[in-house]
């Protein structure tokens, strides 16, 4: 699906944006949306061919792309990613922590609860925290030196983390994404006016798991949304584009649900 047209105030012309987990799903959609808005993109991923494909799409938009392949479950990779990304174009304006461990499809779907939780903790929480703190400090210093606009950090939460959902998946993602959401608000308090920090909280988004979900989940996803449909990665990407742009310059420390309106009391 092509990126959506938006008014000039949502442009990201000549900015440098890093998108972790950009080789597929929501990360890919955000990378392409940012590129369509005018940003040059650091495409982070683990799969070489998939990341190269996204980079090629970015370049078709007339923007520059750099691929960095790293496993964020390895703590030593965090400093490497920030340094390589920052040095590419001598700075980063937008950092989107979209990478997340896939524990719902493939071989990992058969892992124990404890192993799934450990993997989610490493990638979704520790990597988000470490990367945000590292790049946030660089952005803060960059702003103190008189550079504009302020840096932007975007994280990924979950719309049901604040209320909970029954079952093992609800227990896992509730605590993992709840941690990311709380961290986002605390980091925004820390960085203040120098770096804006917000968190996207998607609802039922049809990524690889949603494509193969049973009839029960297909019906539930549509029933729990006020607009009556699954969300798409592009829905999340358009929200990310707005939050990353100068149009959102007065917005920080917020959790943005992207869920079509959650239907309470269903």
The full set of domain ranges for the chain reads 10-258
- Mean pLDDT of the residues in the chain: 92
Question: Which tokens hold the place of 9?
Answer: 């105030």
| Of 89 and 104, the one with more pLDDT | 89
State the pLDDT at residue 10: 75
State the pLDDT at residue 1: 53
Q: Is the pLDDT of residue 7 over 70?
A: no
Region 165-190: what's the mean pLDDT?
A: 94
State the pLDDT at residue 151: 95
Buried b (16+ CB within 10 A) or exposed e, 91-124: ebbbbbbbbbbbbbeeeeeeeeeeebbebbbbbb
State the pLDDT at residue 4: 54
Region 106-133: what's the mean pLDDT?
A: 94
Q: Is the pLDDT of residue 6 over 70?
A: no
Report the alpha-carbon distance of residue 58 to residue 66 in Å, rounded: 10
Report the alpha-carbon distance of residue 222 to residue 205 in Å, rounded: 10
Q: Is the pLDDT of residue 94 over 90?
A: yes
State the pLDDT at residue 164: 86
Region 121-129: what's the mean pLDDT?
A: 97
Supply the DSSP string of the chain, one letter for each residue: -PPPP--GGG--TT-EEEETTTTSHHHHHHHHHHHHTT-EEEEEES-HHHHHHHHHHHHHTT--EEEEE--TTSTHHHHHHHHHHHHHTT--SEEE-------SSGGGGGS-HHHHHHHHIIIIIIHHHHHHHHHHHHHHHHHHTT-SSPEEEEEE--TTTTT--SSHHHHHHHHHHHHHHHHHHHHHHHHGGGEEEEEEEE-SB-SHHHHH--HHHHHHHHHTBTT-S-B-HHHHHHHHHHHHSGGGTT--S-EEEESS-B-TT-
Q: Is the pLDDT of residue 250 over 70?
A: yes
Other Cβ atoms within 10 Å of 249 Cβ, number: 13
State the pLDDT at residue 204: 85
Q: What is the pLDDT confidence band of residue 5, given thresholds at 50, 70 and 90?
A: low
Q: What is the pLDDT confidence band of residue 207, given thresholds at 50, 70 and 90?
A: confident
Q: Which of 129, 83, 123 is nearest to 99 (CA)?
A: 123
Q: What is the pLDDT confidence band of residue 2, given thresholds at 50, 70 and 90?
A: low
Q: Please report how many Cα atoms fall inside a 13 Å half-sphere around the Cα of residue 118, on the Cβ side.
A: 7
Report the alpha-carbon distance of residue 193 to residue 134 in Å, rounded: 17
What is the topology classification, in CATH, of domain 10-258? Rossmann fold (3.40.50)
Share of the chain above pLDDT 70, in %: 96
4, 49, 156, 244, 265 from 239: Cα distances, Å:
11, 27, 12, 9, 26
């Amino acid at each position: 699906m092509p990126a959506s047209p938006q008014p000039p105030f949502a442009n990201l012309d000549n900015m440098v944006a890093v998108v972790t987990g950009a080789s597929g799903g929501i990360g890919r959609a955000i990378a392409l949306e940012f590129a369509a808005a005018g940003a040059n993109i650091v495409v982070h991923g683990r799969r070489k061919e998939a990341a190269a494909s996204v980079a090629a799409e970015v370049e078709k938009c007339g923007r520059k792309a750099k691929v960095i392949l790293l496993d964020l479950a390895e703590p030593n990779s965090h400093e490497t990613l920030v340094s390589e990304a920052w040095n590419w174009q001598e700075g980063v304006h937008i950092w989107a922590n979209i990478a997340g461990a896939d524990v719902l499809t493939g071989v990992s779907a058969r892992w124990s609860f404890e192993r799934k939780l450990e993997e989610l903790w490493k990638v979704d929480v520790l990597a988000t925290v470490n990367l945000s703190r590292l790049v946030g400090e660089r952005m803060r210093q960059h702003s103190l030196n008189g550079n504009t606009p302020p840096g932007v950090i975007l994280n990924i939460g979950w719309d049901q983390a604040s209320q909970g959902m029954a079952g093992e998946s609800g227990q896992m993602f509730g605590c993992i994404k709840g941690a990311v959401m709380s961290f986002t608000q605390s980091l925004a308090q820390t960085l203040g006016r120098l770096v804006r920090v917000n968190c996207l909280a998607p609802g039922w988004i049809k990524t690889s798991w949603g494509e193969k979900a049973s009839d029960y989940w297909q019906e539930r996803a549509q029933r729990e949304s006020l607009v009556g449909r699954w969300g798409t990665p592009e829905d999340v990407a358009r929200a990310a584009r707005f939050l990353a742009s100068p149009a959102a310059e007065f917005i920080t420390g917020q959790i943005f649900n992207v869920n079509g309106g959650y239907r309470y009391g269903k």
